[in-house]
Amino acid sequence: MTAVSTRQPVAILGGTGALGRGLAARLAAAGHRVTLGSRDADRATASAAELAESLAPAVDVERLLFGAANAEAAATHDVVILATPWDPSGDSIRELADPLAETVVISAINPLGFDVTGPYGLDVVEGSAAEQVAASLPNSRVAAAFHHLSAPSLLKLSHDLSGEDVLVCADDDRARVTALNLAAAVTGTPGIDVGPLRQARQLEPFTAVLIAVNKRYRTRSGLALRHVDRNRASLPEVALS
């Protein structure tokens, strides 16, 4: 793997939600310039300011957290994380196809349902939300990651996440390597490459398992893989700007 910049600016669409703000907090704390995207630009800006204030004085992220409308955030970044709610129609993603062309797009979308028996994975026509994203954004470079991190744990910067693994899948090597590196910025540990994008069919609904465990054991559980030497993967050589 070639040396890469670990300080790429990152936009997080759906960034005013809990997972989006949590990822933003960790990325900003690691020195990334982060733009929270929302349908409403004013709301995004307010959310970014609020988040910066909540993290101070532990971390000075005031000049690293911004807000913008989703389309503007998408158009002005080379790396975009989707932390948007699951949209079965795909319309909200498809309308960003132009601004997201050539962009690395990392889906953290979890299509989950809840009923009297608890959380469960929704049926997705395309197989997974990440595959729906890839179908909706034919000119983007799509990966999936960050499904299993607890939003409250992300937001509490003192909470050590280095024992939790970010599982990454992608069909595009540049997207894969970008997500693996961003995982290191978020948790302190590089992500684990679990293969092609269709593995998102396993990653996304596994979040239902963690949520069920959280309720039964009154905790915020996380996922880890054992016996994986993160430097041993045969990763592609990808030059990242």
Per CB under 8 A, residues contacting a copy of itself are 117-118, 120-121, 163-164, 167, 192-196, 198-199, 201-203, 205-206, 208-210, 212-213, 216-230, 232-234
Three-state SS at 14: coil
Question: In angstroms, what is the minimal distance from the CB of 241 to a copy of itself?
Answer: 25
Residue 185 · residue 30 · CB < 8 Å: yes
Question: In angstroms, what is the minimal distance from the CB of 198 to a copy of itself?
Answer: 6
Nearer to a copy of itself, 33 or 220 (CB): 220
Give me 104's structure tokens: 């690395």
Residue 186 · residue 162 · CB < 8 Å: no
Nearer to a copy of itself, 90 or 222 (CB): 222
Other Cβ atoms within 10 Å of 7 Cβ, number = 13
Residue closest to 210 by CA, chosen among 168, 165, 178, 176: 165
> Strands 167-170 and 141-144: what pairing?
antiparallel
Question: In angstroms, what is the minimal distance from the CB of 123 to a copy of itself?
Answer: 10
Question: In angstroms, what is the minimal distance from the CB of 29 to a copy of itself?
Answer: 20
Cα 119–chain centre separation: 20
Residue 208 · residue 233 · CB < 8 Å: no
Question: In angstroms, what is the minimal distance from the CB of 137 to a copy of itself?
Answer: 20
Nearer to a copy of itself, 76 or 219 (CB): 219
Residue 112 · residue 206 · CB < 8 Å: no
**Residue keyed to tokens 């936009």:** 11
Nearer to a copy of itself, 63 or 217 (CB): 217
Question: In angstroms, what is the minimal distance from the CB of 202 to a copy of itself?
Answer: 5
Nearer to a copy of itself, 51 or 203 (CB): 203
Nearer to a copy of itself, 188 or 222 (CB): 222
Supply φ then ψ for residue 40, to 5 degrees: -105, 115
